[in-house]
Amino acid sequence: MILERLQFIFISALSVLVGSFHAEEEAFVDRFIGSPLLVLVAIIVIDVAAIIYHKIRR
């Protein structure tokens, strides 16, 4: 279940990265803050924190 979720998140992040390439010279931070990639990173961080917390609580 966790592996499937991580695979889905990885594929989603990859598709967002491929779809968000621009020809103009924008800073990566400017594109990152305004993109759905920020949401995906937040989800990944929350999932990792939940996994670590779950393993500690056992």
Phi, psi values for residue 27, rounded to 5°: -70, 145
pLDDT in tens, 16-58: 666 655 555 667 666 667 677 778 888 899 999 999 999 898 7
The DSSP 8-state label assigned to residue 23 in this structure reads S
Dihedral-angle region of residue 26 (phi above 0 means left; psi in -120 to 50 means alpha; beta otherwise): beta
Count the domains in the chain: 1
pTM for the model stands at 0.47
The pLDDT, as a whole number, for residue 49 is 92
CA distance readout (Å), 33 to 4, 19, 28, 41, 51: 26, 16, 9, 11, 26
Range of the domain at 31: 2-57
The pLDDT, as a whole number, for residue 21 is 55
